[in-house]
């Protein structure tokens, strides 16, 4: 276990599966105690925490629906309750990863206002208010890492609303980095290309043609995996990345170079 991260806490949103689960596992391997946030799949989150503990790490799950109007208050109240049970209440948080997200796929003409606002609530409002309400909890010298998407650079007309939310996350990252610089908190985003997770299950899983198309569009010739993204987050969380802030790291395997 790394001495650098001894007694450090990481909070990862949407960590019950996919990229968030991989991030939790890699941060735990780096020595952080990981608060595994989940929305609705408590069993999966408990399994992520249990597998971290089985590997010698420390983790505990907590629940909050990030689509709710009171998401940030619910989030921090649930965190406090779980942190108290884990014996780490009021310990500063060293790493916050805003990973939870949803993708609405389809033509802009077909989405209702309500559909759009729900996606906006989870992808944009939740990270903003979790940070705003959580700023005093984050340690000076800490890290905020936001998961954006390659779709802010590569145009996919079937996910216009989603692209808008991720563009907002990148602007948030840039400006928050400037605001938190005096506290030596770094703020960066990671922009994955297509990664094999449930978010893409509907069109990618079991569809060999789609998988081949994604692989062919990447310079590295394959579909991304959750650990490809998690290792970049673990690096940004490390002491070695202390001089990087306000940046986006493109993690698309060289898609559409
Ligand atoms: P995923 O669907 O497996 O994970 C998304 C996570 O967000 C899940 O844990 C889910 O429970 C959580 N979540 C969704 N709605 C929630 C809500 N209302 N309240 C609380 N939690 C909620 O997908 P993933 O690929 O692991 O996505 C993780 C992040 O990566 C997302 O921000 C996504 O936009 C981003 N991303 C993914 C890809 C990709 O191709 N997989 C590409 C670019 C960006």
Q: Does pTM surpass 0.90?
A: yes
Distances (CA, A) of 127 to 33, 72, 75, 84, 148: 21, 8, 11, 23, 11
Element (H, E) at 249: strand 248-251
Q: For the chain, what is the domain count?
A: 1
Quote the mean pLDDT of the chain.
Answer: 96
Would 2 be classed as within a structural domain?
no
pLDDT in tens, 74-131: 999 999 999 999 999 999 999 999 999 999 999 999 999 999 999 999 999 999 999 9
Contacts for 243 with CB less than 8 Å, ≥ 6 apart:
none
Which one of 38, 79, 128, 162 is the catalytic residue?
A: 162
Q: Is residue 23 in contact with ligand 1, taking CB distance under 6 Å? A: no
Ligand 1: residue whose CA is nearest its atom 9: 14
Quote ipTM for the complex.
Answer: 0.99
Q: In this structure, is residue 3 part of a structural domain? A: no
Tell me if 257 is assigned to some domain: no
Is the residue at 122 inside a domain?
Answer: yes
Q: What is the pLDDT of residues 213-242, one digit of tens each?
A: 999 999 999 999 999 999 999 999 999 999
> Is the CB of 26 within 6 Å of ligand 1?
no
Is residue 256, in this structure, part of any structural domain at all?
no
Domain encompassing residue 62? 9-251
pLDDT tens-digit profile of 21-35?
999 999 999 999 999
The CATH number given to whatever domain includes residue 32 is: 3.40.50.720
Q: Is residue 41 part of a domain?
A: yes
Q: Does 1 map to a domain? A: no
Residue 201 inside a domain? The answer is yes
Residue of 38, 70, 100 to mutate, ligand 1, most atoms within 8 A of C-beta: 100
């Amino acid at each position: 276990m790394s001495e650098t991260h001894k007694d450090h806490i990481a909070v990862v949103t949407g960590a019950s599966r996919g990229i968030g689960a991989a991030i939790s596992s890699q941060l735990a391997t780096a020595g952080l105690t990981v608060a595994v946030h989940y929305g609705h799949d408590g069993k999966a989150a408990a399994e992520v925490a249990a597998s971290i503990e089985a590997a010698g790490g420390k983790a505990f799950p907590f629940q909050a629906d990030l689509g709710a109007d009171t998401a940030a208050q619910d989030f921090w109240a649930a965190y406090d309750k779980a942190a108290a049970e884990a014996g780490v209440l009021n310990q500063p948080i060293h790493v916050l990863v805003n990973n939870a997200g949803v993708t609405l796929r389809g033509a802009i003409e077909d989405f209702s206002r309500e559909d759009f606002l729900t996606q906006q609530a989870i992808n944009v409002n939740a990270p903003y208010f979790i940070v705003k309400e959580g700023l005093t909890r984050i340690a000076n010298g800490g890290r905020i890492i936001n998961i954006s998407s390659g779709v802010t650079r590569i145009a996919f007309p079937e996910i216009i609303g989603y692209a808008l939310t991720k563009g907002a996350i990148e602007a948030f990252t840039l400006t928050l980095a400037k605001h938190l610089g005096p506290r030596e908190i770094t703020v960066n985003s990671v922009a994955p290309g297509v990664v094999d997770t449930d978010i893409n299950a509907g069109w990618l899983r079991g569809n060999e043609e789609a998988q081949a198309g994604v692989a062919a569009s990447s310079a590295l010739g394959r579909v991304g995996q959750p650990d490809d993204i998690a290792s970049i987050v673990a690096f940004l969380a490390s002491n070695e990345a202390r001089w990087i802030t306000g940046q986006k790291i493109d993690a698309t395997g060289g898609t559409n170079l």
